[in-house]
Structure formats: C-alpha cells, structure tokens
Amino acid sequence: MTRIIAGRFGGLTLRTPAGTSTRPTGERVREALFSALDHAGLLDGARVLDLYAGSGALGLEALSRGAAAVTLVDKADAAVKTIRANAAAAGRAIGSGEAISSVKSAADAFLGRAEEQFDVVLIDPPYAVGERELARTLELVRSRLDDDGIVVVERATRSSEPSWPEGLTGTRSRKYGDTTLWWADAATPEPAGPASDAEVASFARRLGLPGLFDVHTHFMPTRVLDKVWRYFETNTRFDWPITYRQDEDERVRRLRDLGVRRFTAMLYPHKPDMAHWLNRWGADFAARTPDCLHTATFFPEPGNDEYVREALGAGARVFKAHVQVGGYDPSDRLLDGVWAQLEDAGVPTVIHCGSGPNPGKFTGPEPIRAVLRRHPRLRLIIAHLGMPEYEDFAALAEGHDGVYLDTTMNFTDFTEKLMPMPDELLPRLAALQDKILLGSDFPNIPYPYAHQIDALTRLGFGDEWLRAVLWHNAAGLFAEY
C-alpha cells in the first residue's frame, strides 16, 4: 500500500499491483519530485501523462496537487485493475472522476494514436525496459508534449542518462539512493545569431546567403563624420561610444570582413548649401568603393531639383534624408521637385523620420503621409522601423507598396532599453517579411555589429525571414542579383 502525500486528497491510501513487474516510486522520491514540480508552478492546471503508471500514484499525486487532468497508462492487467480502483477512490475524494483517464495500452502504442497534448509527462518504466526501448518512447513523447512541457524519467541509478531525442533537452538529474530522476524540457532553444563579429560572415553562409546587404551604413567626409561622432559621444543623453571609430579604409575593410557584400554611404546635410558637395563626395566614394551603392542626399532649398537630377544622372541608386537633423518638413513644397524625380526614377530614399532617439518639430508619421498623398509611387525606406512610432510606420509599410522599413539598431539591448518594440507588434513585423531590410548604423553604433544580427535572429521569426531581411529584399529592391 502507498498513499497520496499532499494536496486535495492527501493521505488517501492507494493500492499497489500484485507481482514484481511494476516498481512503485518510493515516497521520498515522490515527495522530492512533486516538491520540485510545485515550486516551479508546473502542476496548476496541467495536463499530466503518467506512463507505466503501475498504481497510478504519480498521476494521482499530480491531480491532488492541482493538475487539471491526468491520463494513466499501463498494459499489465494487474496494474490496470489497480489503477482503476485507485482512480475511483480519488474520484470519490474530489467528488468527480472526470479528470482521470485510465488506459490499458503499451506506452508506445498509446503515444502513437493519442491526439491530446500534455504539459507534464512522468515516465517510470519497469527494470525490463531497456535504453533503446525508452529512447523510442521518448521520441514519441516529444510529439505529444506541449511546447513548454517537461518530461521526468525515473530510472535506476545504475542506468545511463536517457537518450533525449531532438526537441527534448536534458536539464538536470537528481539521485535518491538507488533511484535517479532525469528532467528534460521541450522548450525550443532560443535561436542564436553570431556571438562575435568573427562569426557574422559564416552565419550568413549558413543561411545560404552570398553575404549581407546593409542599407544603412554611414560614410561621409572625414570632418563631417568627426562632428557626428563628437555629437554622439558628448552631446546626447545616452551613453553612446562609437565602436568602429576607425579611418575610412579600415571601416570598409571591417564591413567586408563581416561579409557585408553591399552597403551604403548614408550622408545628409543639416543646413542649406551642403547637399550638393556631399553628393559629389558620395559619387567619388562610390567610384572607389564598388560594393557601396552610390548614395546621395538633398535639402529643402532652391536648386535642389538640379543637383538631384545631376546625382541621378551620375548613377545615384539611393538617397538619404534626415528629418530630425535637418529640422525640415519632408512635405515642404521646396521638395516637390525632388520627390517627383525620385518617384519617376524609382530610386529609394532611406528617411529618418521617426521621433527617436530625439524628437524633432517635423518627425512622426503625418508629414510622411502627406508626402505619400502627393507621390504615391515613391519608394521610401523608413529608418529604425520608424522608432518610436513603430505601429504607425508599420501601417504605412502595410498600406503602400513602395514603403519599406529598415532594422537599424532595432531589437538591440541598447534600443530596447530606450524605446522598446511593443510585443503586440511582433506578429505584424513577422508578416512584413518582404518589406523589411537590414540596416545597422555602422560605424556609429555603441556595440559590435554582430549584436544587430543576433538581435534579429533571436526574434525567432525563422530562417526564411532572416534570408529575406539580411539579403533578398534589398537585393530585389536594388536589382542586385
């Protein structure tokens, strides 16, 4: 005889099967097992499967301690007779037997035909069940286990660790004299990207990509970039050290070493009379750096349609606009001619128009909506996923064929502390797989480049999403095959 240790019908006496084919779990081991399950909150409302149930003591203990339903499985006639008697006694103790199901079946046969999912699976096989048979059972268990479920296997201490199948990860073991409890869970391992910059290129290759296509990297005349770096390091409310504070040639080499096959030179003016000479610098940089897309820019000023026409004629393939730094309204009538040319040419503009990290007078979605009302075929790449107006800019990408989003600094630890992405928006971003492009803000980032790729990987959207975002979307948009 044995008894229920604790819970709704603690103290209830249970029968044990006659004969030696079953191996009842000792009270000390049961107490340790269920104390651990209770402490982890794994029993409340759980669906529990007790394989090789013997007397049903494990499953009924789980029910007594808060499980919603238990299924007790054994093939031995004596065990099944005992299980049904104990289940009836437990049902009387709680006023209903509806939560208890007893099944006469071999473990593998039951698992092969079962349709329900379980949160906790308890396996206490007889000594006669060998390692190979147990391994087959565990393979079948995985398909019946909830994604957050756990498995506990009770074995003789002299036995080796169970052979966990793919999808089950052994987490711990505890010895109690001649008995050992082996724990495993079915939680899918968190997807992980490159752990360091040295792993970025090989990570892209493992995805079957030729490399990375980063639409948001910064190359500028040295004196301009030096001012940008000083601003980030001294004039922001954030701790923002520049990770890649190197000369131009070294920065280009670093991107290539990272496996970045295509990148941009995001340059932008903060006042009139800058854009034209920045464009000339950008043309020269592209000429000497063939893996960089020829990048140009503009400002709301007289004559901008002429220098934009000049840049397009020289082969500019992407433009950059920075609404916050420039302090201008993107729907300013002085930009009508610029937007019209870019719309007709089908050349995209990467535009920083969200209000992060610092808001501006004209940041936010409404000025962009105004631009799109006048120029509905315009191709815009919203930088930083529109941070922090994430939802508004996601809606623009959903509603306009030519509106894309880039991932610059998004989902990194740095950005998540400042302007976190709402969890409820994640399914929409997963669905926007074909409208999101990799952006990084290299070299102006306060962490290694690998962290951006790892942050995107850990979203768990899958390899196809990563392939689209890290290469295919930009390659298609810029016709780079």
Domain count, the chain: 2
Q: Is there a domain that residue 191 lies in? A: no
Q: Is there a domain that residue 10 lies in? A: yes
Q: For residues 377 and 473, state if they share a domain.
A: yes
Q: For residues 171 and 231, state if they share a domain.
A: no
Q: For residues 219 and 117, state if they share a domain.
A: no
d(CA 262, CA 474): 9
Q: For residues 174 and 249, state if they share a domain.
A: no
| Domain final residue pick, 185, 206, 224 | 185
Identify the CATH number of the domain in which residue 305 sits. Answer: 3.20.20.140
33: left (phi over 0), alpha (psi -120 to 50) or beta: alpha
What is the predicted pLDDT for the residue at 481?
A: 40
Q: Is there a domain that residue 299 lies in? A: yes
Q: Is there a domain that residue 284 lies in? A: yes
Q: For residues 254 and 180, state if they share a domain.
A: no
Q: For residues 344 and 395, state if they share a domain.
A: yes
Peptide bond into 388 cis (omega under 30): yes
Peptide bond into 357 cis (omega under 30): yes
| Domain final residue pick, 119, 154, 185 | 185
Structure tokens at 148: 């957050």
Identify the CATH number of the domain in which residue 114 sits. Answer: 3.40.50.150
Angle between helices 57-64 and 77-94 (to 10 degrees): 10
d(CA 167, CA 466): 22
Q: Is there a domain that residue 239 lies in? A: yes
**What pTM value is reported for the model?**
0.69
SS3 336: helix
Q: How far is CA 248 from CA 227, 285, 296, in A?
A: 15, 10, 18
Structure tokens at 235: 């004039």
d(CA 277, CA 279): 5
Q: For residues 118 and 218, state if they share a domain.
A: no
Burial 383-415 (b: 16+ CB within 10 A, else e): bbbbbbbbebbbbbbeebebbbbbbbbbbbebb
| Domain final residue pick, 130, 161, 185 | 185
Write the pLDDT tens digit of every residue in 419-466. Answer: 999 989 999 999 999 999 999 999 999 999 999 999 999 998 999 999
Write the pLDDT tens digit of every residue in 330-357. Answer: 999 999 999 999 999 999 999 999 999 9
Residue by residue, pLDDT tens for the chain (481 residues) are 899 999 999 999 999 997 655 566 788 899 999 999 998 899 999 999 999 999 999 999 999 999 999 999 999 999 999 999 999 999 998 888 789 999 999 999 999 999 999 999 999 999 889 999 999 999 999 999 998 899 999 999 999 999 999 899 998 998 899 999 999 998 766 788 999 999 999 999 999 999 999 999 999 999 999 999 999 988 767 889 999 999 999 999 999 999 999 999 999 999 999 999 999 999 999 999 999 999 999 999 999 999 999 999 999 999 999 999 999 999 999 999 999 999 999 999 999 999 999 999 999 999 999 999 999 999 999 999 999 999 999 999 999 999 999 999 999 999 999 999 998 999 999 999 999 999 999 999 999 999 999 999 999 899 999 999 999 999 999 986 4
Peptide bond into 443 cis (omega under 30): yes
Q: For residues 180 and 211, state if they share a domain.
A: no
Q: For residues 173 and 204, state if they share a domain.
A: no
> Residue 148 burial (CB < 10 Å; 0-12/13-18/19+)?
exposed
d(CA 257, CA 253): 6
Question: What residue numbers bound the domain in which 110 lies?
Answer: 2-185
Q: Is there a domain that residue 190 lies in? A: no
Q: Could you tell me if 40 and 26 are in contact, meaning their C-beta atoms sit under 8 angstroms apart?
A: no
Q: Is there a domain that residue 37 lies in? A: yes
Q: For residues 312 and 369, state if they share a domain.
A: yes
- Which residues touch 132 (CB under 8 Å, ≥6 apart)? none
What is the predicted pLDDT for the residue at 327?
A: 98
d(CA 22, CA 19): 7
Q: Is there a domain that residue 236 lies in? A: yes
Sign of torsion over alpha carbons 407, 412, 415, 419: positive
Structure tokens at 264: 């941009």
What is the predicted pLDDT for the residue at 1?
A: 80
- Which residues touch 266 (CB under 8 Å, ≥6 apart)? 216, 217, 218, 219, 295, 320, 350
CB atoms within 10 A of CB 374: 14
Q: How far is CA 295 from CA 162, 307, 334, in A?
A: 58, 13, 21
What is the predicted pLDDT for the residue at 26?
A: 83
DSSP 472: I
Q: How far is CA 242 from CA 276, 324, 412, in A?
A: 27, 20, 15
Q: How far is CA 337 from CA 258, 270, 301, 309, 375, in A?
A: 38, 20, 11, 10, 11
Q: For residues 227 and 318, state if they share a domain.
A: yes
d(CA 272, CA 468): 37
Q: For residues 234 and 305, state if they share a domain.
A: yes
